Every structure is written in structure tokens, then in C-alpha cells.
Amino acid sequence: MNEPLPLVADTLGRPLRDLRISVTDRCNFRCSYCMPAEVFGDRYAFLPRAEILTFEEIERVARIAADLGAHKLRITGGEPLLRTDLPSLIARLAAIDGIDDLALTTNAYLLPRFAAPLRDAGLSRLTVSLDSLDADVFRSMNGVGLELERVLEGVAAAEKAGFSRLKFNCVVQRDINDTGIVELASYFRGTGHIVRFIEFMDVGTLNGWDLAQVVPAREIVARISAEMPLETADPNYRGEVARRYVYRDGSGEIGVIASVTAPFCGDCSRARLSADGQLVTCLFADSGSDLKSLLRDGTPDAELARTIAQVWQQRSDRYSEERSAELPPRGSGGERIEMFRIGG
């Protein structure tokens, strides 16, 4: 079956298919690769409430994106479960015509309380950020000493609520958590869940990114396959971020996201909406397009839709491919939007 023609496409022919929506810039973790504690301390000034999009405004942008061809929504943060009354937003988004996949990424620390309400509201899928099963490494990486056990309780709550196929994202950093990747893969093997191992990326400018800390995807796969043999699998759909590998004994699969060593910009169909209403067309962008002003000045839907379409049609982003062509990179490349503002 042929894929339908896109309603809107960028300068490289990439359709708008996915919208990632950040509902808050706040997080209860301080992971070094996203919100290092030495930068985001007690005095850090997060967005004031008045600057954050309301649920009505988020729903409006999501409806217009769906009219332009987006069929997947992902709720992110910061940590999205910190946003008050989040299940009510999920219910609004689940009711949008054309949206057939509604997902959320969380660190799962608050999931014991929210898993069932999110499922009842219409959430389709959950992705849990989990960088280690070693309690000491986990406490160190989350930057605030929070316990692994609470996250695993959140996973259990999600399973009980009916999320039968969870995804787990592990950002792999050499000499920090890379010795635990086989353990993490083994722990979820045979459960129906999928662990996705992510190369440490140079998102933003505050995470101290160092190419020496990047564990290449091929090395990750080789380490796991040496213990539990793997073979490649076809992508589930065009533009799938993770490369799939299945266990040869049929006990499940893993994924690897190789944005550094094997970029996949060519099939990128994702736009991002920041908590303060910036439409961002690349994870590595240095700025976005202001939609909040339009949402709050009486701009009609038709004009808002034209603006979003024009932003996408002018898009030419392919940062990962350009960066990969000059590894090791010559410099920092200037300021970029931090990951916690657009949800990764």
C-alpha cells in the first residue's frame, strides 16, 4: 500500500507527520545530558505560568497540525507529569480527528499515581526514560539522588493500567552507564517491552557534550549481540527513529538511535511545540517560530494554519547529517535550544 501524499512538505520533501508537544520546561530530575544540576539549581528561573501555553491553545495547534497531515502526537517536557491536570489534556488530544497515535515520554517517577488516569483519558503509548538498572548509577545520573525503585513501581503501574508494550529510552555515555546496557536489555527481554539505546547527542549547549563519551550504535549492538544474538529488522514505518534489532530466538527486540554516527535527517517528519509556544523544526535548532502571539491575538485558524504550513514548507534542517560530515566537530556551532524546552 502506497503512503498517501503529504498535505504539507518541506524543501526536502519531508512530510509533517509527528508533533511533539512540550507541556512544561520543569523536571524533577537533573540528568547531566539534559538539565545538569550545576546549571539548573534551586535558583534557576523556569517559565512563569502565564508564558506557558494553556490546554486550549495546545489543543488548537494540535488540531491544525492534524489538518496539515500530522497523525502522531507525543507529550513531553521537561517532565510532563508535573503539569497540573495532564489527563484532561490527554482527553482533549485523543478526541482530535486524524490523530491515531498519542504517546507520552516520562521519567516515570510520578507514574504510580498517573498511569491509570492517563490510560483512561485515551493515551495510546508510554515511553520511559531509564538510563540504568544499577541503583547507584541511576541515583548519580538523575542528579538529585532519586531512587530506581520508584521508577520500577511506575513501570508496574503502567503495565497494570494496560500499557502492554512500553518503550524505554537509555542515553548511553561511555564510562558512565555503558557497562549496564546488556543488563538493561536482558531485564526487559521477553516482556514485550522495547529498550532503545540512544547515542549521547549534542542537543543544546549546556550538557557538556563530548564526542569521546559517545558509544556508537554499532558497538552497543555488538555488546548485546555477543550475549543475546541479534539480527536486523525492517523499520515499522518510514521515518522511524530507532533502528530495530530482534533477538534471534524470538524473545523480543531492541532499538538504537544513532543520531551522531548514522544520522536519519532524510526521513525526519517531526515538528516540536515548546511549552511557551515556539514551533521548532529540528531538535538541534537555535530558535523557533512564535505561535503563542498568534494564539493570543485573535488570529483565526485559517491564518494560523497558513503560518504553520509556511514554517514547515521552508524547513531545510538536517543538522545531524551536516555534523556527521565533519566529525570530530570543529566547534560548538553556537547556541541551540536546550533539550528540556522541546522534549528531545
pLDDT of amino acid 100: 96
pLDDT of 344 strictly over 80: no
Q: Which amino acid is at 191?
A: T
Residues ≥6 apart with Cβ < 8 Å to 7? 15, 16, 67, 68, 69
Instruction: Specify whether the CB–CB gap between 308 and 277 falls below 8 A.
Output: no
pLDDT confidence bin for 6, thresholds 50/70/90? low
pLDDT of 334 strictly over 50: yes
pLDDT of 331 strictly over 80: no
For residue range 116-160, what is the model confidence (pLDDT) as tens digits? Answer: 999 999 999 999 999 999 999 999 999 999 999 999 999 999 999
Asked whether residue 329 is domain-assigned, the answer is yes
pLDDT confidence bin for 1, thresholds 50/70/90? very low
Split into its structural domains, the chain has a count of: 1
Which letter, b or e, does each residue of 75-111 get, where b requires 16 or more Cβ atoms within 10 Å of its Cβ?
A: bbbbbbbbbeebbebbbbbeebeebeebbbbbbbbbb
pLDDT of amino acid 36: 86
pLDDT of amino acid 322: 66
Q: Write phi, then psi, for 73 (nearest 5 degrees).
A: -120, 140
pLDDT of 166 strictly over 80: yes
Asked whether residue 2 is domain-assigned, the answer is no
The rounded distance, in Å, linking the Cα atoms of 120 and 340 is: 27
How does the average pLDDT of the chain come out, rounded?
91
Asked whether residue 166 is domain-assigned, the answer is yes
Cα angle for residues 155, 157, 158 (degrees, 5° grid): 65
pLDDT of 305 strictly over 80: yes
The rounded distance, in Å, linking the Cα atoms of 70 and 82 is: 26
pLDDT confidence bin for 340, thresholds 50/70/90? low
Asked whether residue 3 is domain-assigned, the answer is no
pLDDT confidence bin for 265, thresholds 50/70/90? confident
Counting residues of the chain whose pLDDT is more than 90, the rounded percentage is 74
Asked whether residue 7 is domain-assigned, the answer is no
pLDDT of amino acid 337: 66
pLDDT of amino acid 103: 98
pLDDT confidence bin for 330, thresholds 50/70/90? very low
Asked whether residue 38 is domain-assigned, the answer is yes
pLDDT of amino acid 43: 85
Asked whether residue 6 is domain-assigned, the answer is no
**Boundaries of domain holding 105:** 18-342
pLDDT of amino acid 335: 63
Asked whether residue 11 is domain-assigned, the answer is no
Single pTM value for the model: 0.91
Query: What's 326's domain CATH number?
Result: 3.20.20.70
Mean pLDDT of 80-84: 98
Most confident range, picked from 41-55, 216-230, 254-268: 216-230
